[in-house]
Amino acid sequence: MNLKIKNALVSVSDKENLISLLKTLKKFNIKIISSGGTFKTIKKLGYDCTELSKYTGFKEMLGGRVKTLHPKIHAGILHDRQNKTHKHQMSKQKFPPIDLIVVNFYPFQKVVMGSKNSKNIIENIDIGGPTMVRAAAKNFKNVTIITNKDDYRTLIKELELNRGGTSIKFREFMSSKAFGLTAYYDAMIANWFNNKLNIQFPDRKTIFGRKLTNLRYGENPHQESSIYINDYDDKRLGFEKIHGKELSYNNYNDLFAGLDILQSLKGKAATVVIKHANPCGISTNKKPLNSFKNAYACDPISAFGGVIACNYKMTKAVANEITKNFLEVILSKGFDKESLKILKRKKNLRIIDISQFKYKEHAVIKSFDGSFLIQNKNKKFVKKKEFKCVTKLKPSKKELNEIAFAFNICKYVKSNAIVLCSNYSTIGIGGGQPSRVDSCKIAIQKAKKFQLNKISNAIAASDAFFPFVDGLKLLVNAGIKTVIQPGGSVRDKEIINYANKAKIKMLFTGTRHFYH
């Protein structure tokens, strides 16, 4: 059902692109009602417009909090044009219909990003705008609702096609977008209050997100996928792709895993190698080149087609090493001219600058078929003073630093996790196994295959306690001399006794690092 538009109410905070719409409204003799800054802008642009207060006969009050909240406005929007009772009541009150609403809201999210003034933020919670939008969206059978300046062009085409009217299909589609916006807007406000009041787990949780882009497909070609931004700054992710193919679902999944680990590695140059969202090599070193080489050497077979994340500015030397291998994505805190020139020789290599990325520690969300789990981030970094050495042999102060590095890394490996380290570099990683013994076997197997000369005297970190001595025996027999684990098993005494007999050092942390 196509409906001719006679009256439009235009009230927008963002006045960009407004002139193109005004030209079309004038062309089809559509009368415009407006208020405040929008009214002034329309008049300044040279178009006729009726001021809202003159239209309603009611001056705005309470500092502008009450403008559009008037029966003449909402009756004009909400009445059903096919309902005889509605028509009679509208006629009796002499209320004309309002057929088009063009509204965008007070810039709440912009104010939140730029201000900590609660009073100012609250004043920028729009009431009249969302109320009109919901009314128009509910009555899409009779009213067209536009909530985004990017839709002006589509509306203009629709008006041209229907000679000043709109189709029911178009109105219903715009209604769906409008309800999406009001839900998004309210969710941002609720989120702000929850953060302000430090409410991590409210009774009702709404997750807001703005679509950044559609992705080619999901984890597999038969799955559809998009990426959304769940943040007040919802136009960008904080990093910039400067070369290569578009990022895929799996690319994003891997690079997020890399960024997660990278933010915990401070001080020295750090390189993280990710494959299928799992780390397969991590190293910190004073020299970026050594950091890259050591990380990649941990498991070069798994690193094939992986993601490299670096917390340093990319150099020519590291770039040359990278191009010797097949990799999908490179993340780095900037690139010098020579390194960029070298990396760009790889046509499809995705090069991403993370120098402006800021880690915000949002909650972790996992969903399943109509339900979802939420938890805060595992940002616990166990300090050396929290370690408890439970064996006769004790580590030196120098060794404690590397032990802390190893235990920090194991929290980013899928459980059950076993991480072998030497000289602030992983040399073997076993994870994602139902059995801790199997994770031990995999970590040892990887180390023997690629880092055989470094196993002797290496450090082993476990994300949870050893329930039996079997896993520990495998590590000791492989040459491990230091083990760090949470402790807490009913067999801890048996484990400690074996460690003393094997003449290794063992430390308990009291902190578990499960990651599923």
Residue carrying the six token digits 């004073």? 286
Rounded to 10°, the helix 469-478/436-450 angle is: 10
- Of 15, 87, 138, 316, the active-site residue reads 138
Concerning whether 276 is annotated as a catalytic residue, the answer is yes
Strands 327-332 and 350-353: parallel
- Alpha helical stretches, state H, 79-198: 84-93, 108-114, 118-123, 128-138, 152-161, 168-196
Please name which of 67, 79, 15 lies closest in space to residue 44, comparing C-alpha atoms.
15
Residues 6+ apart with CB under 8 A from 114: none
E strand or H helix at 290: helix 288-297
- Of 276, 333, 344, 346, the active-site residue reads 276
Beta bridge partners of 460: 420, 483
CB 230 within 8 Å of CB 348: no
| Phi, psi for 211 (deg, rounded to 5) | -65, 125
Residues 6+ apart with CB under 8 A from 368: none
**d(Cα 252, Cα 367) in Å, to the nearest integer?**
18
Concerning whether 138 is annotated as a catalytic residue, the answer is yes
Count of beta carbons in the 10 Å neighbourhood of residue 111: 17
Tell me which residues are annotated as active site. Answer: 138, 276
